[in-house]
Amino acid sequence: MAQLRNFVTPLHKATARNYIERMCDDKVACMVKAKEYEFDYWDGDRRFGYGGYKYLAGRWAPVAKALIETYGLKAGSRVLDVGCGKGFLLYEMQLIEPGLEIYGMDVSDHGLANVHPELKATLVKQRAQDAFPWPDKHFDLVISLNALHNLRLFELQTALGEMERVGKQGYLLVESYRNEQELFNLQCWALTCESFFDVDEWIWLYKHFGYTGDYEFIYF
């Protein structure tokens, strides 16, 4: 049975954000640039995205450890990260269990070209809303962090269906909200989000599209 998880929330809460400042910027232009998902989004000015997404040793280690332990991963287990970016979480998983067979997919040329240099993984340029190039139940775990809320509703149907098809277990994380203040903050902060849904709407969508994996939400 799908469960609500709490793997990433402590990490998310550790970052301070000025919501009003971002909203009062030339936000439309910043959104257009961010949605290219290339240098400016990852390593350009903070107003376009991460403002420099660098590897910090151990930052993702608690999340990596939780995923490995929760889903019983071991040497030979196959893991797919949908929207892997620079693969820093995958690298931390590799450090904990070097025998994992790691796969990642992303739309960003810049992200894929700047993964951790010691990451041993099969990485492909692939959109989450297109059919995945792997057979049914090929992976022991399919994860997606901070990616699927960037899809539109009809694209979510395909992405969730493909995650369910190729994975034996699943975990995904999206941005959401529980009240009007969190919705306002999310609308101020989000540059690439296409799907602004509250928690109940997301859970309904998972069931409606047949996704049975675990999930987590981050709030602003």
Which CATH number characterizes residue 36's domain?
3.40.50.150
Asked if the structure places residue 2 within a domain, the reply is no
Asked if the structure places residue 108 within a domain, the reply is yes
Asked if the structure places residue 48 within a domain, the reply is yes
CA distance 156 to 129: 7
Asked if the structure places residue 4 within a domain, the reply is no
Cα torsion 42, 170, 10, 220 to 10°: value is 60
pTM confidence score: 0.95
Asked if the structure places residue 210 within a domain, the reply is yes
Which pLDDT does position 205 carry in this prediction?
98
Exposure string of 170-180, with b = 16+ CB inside 10 Å and e = fewer, is bbbbbbbbeee
- For the chain, give the mean pLDDT: 97
Percent of the chain with pLDDT over 70: 100
Which pLDDT does position 46 carry in this prediction?
95
Which pLDDT does position 39 carry in this prediction?
98
Total number of domains constituting the chain = 1
Query: Residue 217: in which H helix or E strand, if any?
Result: strand 214-218
Which pLDDT does position 66 carry in this prediction?
98
CA distance 85 to 69: 23
Q: Specify whether the CB–CB gap between 64 and 11 falls below 8 A.
A: no
User: Quick one: average pLDDT of 151-164?
Assistant: 98
Amino acid found at 177: Y
What residues make up the domain containing 96? Answer: 9-218
- pLDDT, tens digit, 9 for 90 and up, residues 166-192: 999 999 999 999 999 999 999 999 999
- pLDDT, tens digit, 9 for 90 and up, residues 94-135: 999 999 999 999 999 999 999 999 999 999 999 999 999 999
Which pLDDT does position 175 carry in this prediction?
98
Which pLDDT does position 180 carry in this prediction?
98
Asked if the structure places residue 205 within a domain, the reply is yes
Which pLDDT does position 143 carry in this prediction?
98
User: Quick one: average pLDDT of 44-55?
Assistant: 96
Structure tokens at 41: 């989004």
Q: If 0-12 CB within 10 Å is exposed, 13-18 middle and 19+ buried, where does residue 202 land? A: buried
- pLDDT, tens digit, 9 for 90 and up, residues 5-27: 999 999 999 988 999 999 999 99
